[in-house]
Structure 1
Amino acid sequence: MWIDENLTWDPSEYGGVNITTVKPSDVWLPDISLYENAQKEFINFQETFIMVSPNGEMDWYFPATVTSLCKVDITYFPYDVQRCNVTFGPWSYMKHMVDFQLSRHSDTTMDLFHQNDVWVLQHSVGQTLDKELCCDNRTWSAITYQITIRRMSLFYTKTVVLPALLFTMLMTIVCWLHPASGEKVTLAVSNLLALILFQQLVADRMPPSGETTSILVDFFISMIAMCGVEVFCAIAVLRIYHMGGQTELPHFLRRLMLYGPVLSLYNGKRTKEILKTQQANHE
């Protein structure tokens, strides 16, 4: 909405006409551009009529399609929340020529937003600001809207997160499996291959980003590394089991397997004794 002093009249002199419509090509239009534009045409709008009031107030409502750039942070994918700034302002007119202000009547509304299956629009906040886009200290008046959208994570929870937790549970089952069963290494290797395959499938669904990495990627890398160590440990356990006590264990392995748990148990008992002594002295 803006005021055009050249389009004013007295309704009593024109049969009580208090509103009329004109074509956009017949009057002056504000130079509106999207600064974060990502397509060839800056703003693709339809040539709808402009409603003109007797005081020269121009109301122009038109449907438009814009494509904006937005920096995406996928650290908490698929539970991420994205905040995108959309800035509208003049491309040629400086602030002393055209001063952009938020509407006095109403701001952005989410009533016309069509819900989709990927994003949920949480809120949108607009503010007026001054931008210096060129040399010679020239200032442009613009309006920036911060749009907050949240990814719908139910699909990813069922297809990515829950299967990943089940694979993690399978890793613990390998440790419980008795060496005499003969399937300890087979289960560990199968779990490792399944994790690698599932990680590739998840990577294909994730949005690519060179600046941030999702916690799911770090989780799968950790799980694959732990599963590889588990395969090595399963082989070592089977090797020791099939020795039958005829071959002496290496000194470092015997110290790791026997002295480590005993030392931990001793430290735990020693800590309890010290606490009891301190409590008795305090009493």
Structure 2
Amino acid sequence: MAVDSPGCSYVSLLNHLGVGPNNHTHSALRPVRNWSTPTYVTVDLYLYVIIDVNEKHQSLTTGLHMFSSGWTNELLRWDPEHFCGIYTMTIPEEYVWRPPTSIMESFDAKLSYEKSSYVNLIASGWVTTGESYKITSTCKMDLFKFPFDTQQCKLTVLTILNTIDQIRLYPGSNSADVLSGSLMVFQAQGEWDLIRINVTRQNLTIGTSVWDTVIYTIVMCRRPQLYVINLLIPVFLFLVLDLMSFFINEVQGEKLSFKVTVLLAISVLLLILHDMLPSTHDRTPLIGVFCTGIFLFVGFSIVETIAVSFLMRMASKCDLAAFSRETREKRVQEEASGQGPVVSTVKGVEQDTAIVSLLRLLLEEVRKLRQSTCPQPARHAGSACVCLKTAAKAINTLYFILYTCAAVCFLVGVFKQWYY
């Protein structure tokens, strides 16, 4: 056909193919000449943004580009030489049939733009299209190593309405090409880094029905800096402060009030952590074990402080009772020695007489009589006070050593599981 022929326009080609808004044959039915012939469809998904990862609801919101998704249309073929070399043209998507592909894990999928889409039609009958989607899908996350975790979320592309006998799905690119293409358009968003994308093709069998599926496994790594600064370091510093509180004076009650304040601060961080992590996870995340373990350390430390304070208070009461007894003893001894001046006077007046000897004997007898009639102080009071103080100091020292060793072993164990 000549170049200046009326067939050199897209309109004449569309009329020849019978494609248009009033012809629903090409858009309603699968485009094969024999109904038993399967339609071959290729898909290509490229990740360009990670919008949100919700650990509480186990969901992933992503932005996806669908490039060069194509299929064979046996009813829309022409010879370019008969139409002035027209090899390809772009037509509205509602003019032709499109495979009903969907993502199995998705529960909310939206186009990234409102205008109508177009498809690219090639002379061989190959139809290609490209669109951008915002998809929210389910993702079973392993949060055991949170916030040093790596997540794998799957996006399974399939055609629910057509089994493998009708539509065959194939990935348009391998894993390396999809990853490199995604990294070229990827926009870092929030706390996640894209590590790799694995592309596999599998069959999904339910009962007697079999579907072709293309699975895109997105592997992403979390950036833990924010959680380290806002959660891990404060909780660790609270543990260090609790260890340092063993050097605070226990007499005035400052040590106990300080430990209670530290315990309340850890409780606030535990409430924040509870709002972030799911409550139905199979394994308790290590960050929960870390915070709860330090909470228990501080709690047992408060119990130990209360016990030591009780012993010190009993020792103080014992010292006060012993001091009052010593005061009474001194008073009794002073009263008993009140005859001293009389004896010295008699001694000065009548030395070397028999009366002086008699008075001395009488004085000795009076002293013995007073000592036998006065109540004897409890000699064990002072030793009991010393025993209470010694026990309190021994308990405090022993607990500090055990507390430090247990805390170090606990931290080493937790951090070892985090990094290995």
Same-fold status (TM-score > 0.5): yes
Give, as a single letter, the amino acid of the residue that structure 2 aligns with 1:79. F
Residue 231 of structure 1: how far off its partner (Å): 1.1
Structure 2 residue 312 is matched with structure 1 residue 241: yes
Residue 248 of structure 1: how far off its partner (Å): 7.7
Structure 2 residue 142 is matched with structure 1 residue 73: yes
Which residues of 2 match residues 84-163 of structure 1 at below 5 A? Answer: 84-104=153-173, 107=178, 109-110=181-182, 111-133=184-206, 135=207, 137-163=208-234
Deviates more, 1:212-221 or 1:5-14: 212-221
The answer to whether the 8 Å contact 1:120/1:152 transfers is yes
TM-score (norm 2): 0.55
Match of residue 22 from structure 1: 91
The answer to whether the 8 Å contact 1:34/1:43 transfers is no
**Cα-Cα RMSD:** 2.6
Deviations 1:178-224 (A, max 9, x none): 435652222222222222223223333x2324124321222222222
Which residues of 2 match residues 199-278 of structure 1 at below 5 A? Answer: 199-204=270-275, 206-211=276-281, 212-242=283-313, 243=315, 246-247=384-385
SS of alignment partner, residue 105 of structure 2: coil
Deviates more, 1:62-71 or 1:139-148: 62-71
Aligned length in residues: 252
Residue 257 of structure 1: how far off its partner (Å): 5.1
Give, as a single letter, the amino acid of the residue that structure 1 aligns with 2:107. A
The answer to whether the 8 Å contact 2:178/2:197 transfers is no
Match of residue 268 from structure 1: none
Residue 236 of structure 1: how far off its partner (Å): 2.1
Aligned equivalent of 2:123, options 32, 54, 57: 54
The answer to whether the 8 Å contact 1:33/1:43 transfers is no
Deviates more, 1:165-174 or 1:106-115: 106-115
Rg comparison, structure with higher value: 2
Structure 2 residue 235 is matched with structure 1 residue 164: yes
Give, as a single letter, the amino acid of the residue that structure 2 aligns with 1:128. R
The answer to whether the 8 Å contact 2:205/2:211 transfers is yes
Deviates more, 1:217-226 or 1:160-169: 217-226
SS of alignment partner, residue 99 of structure 1: strand
Match of residue 106 from structure 2: 37
SS of alignment partner, residue 90 of structure 2: strand
Gaps of 5+ in 1: 262-283
The answer to whether the 8 Å contact 2:150/2:222 transfers is yes
Match of residue 6 from structure 1: 75
SS of alignment partner, residue 240 of structure 1: helix
Give, as a single letter, the amino acid of the residue that structure 2 aligns with 1:117. G
Q: Which structure: greater strand fraction?
A: 2
Give the direction of change, closer, same or farther, for the CA distance of 1:184–1:104 in structure 2 (3 Å limit).
closer
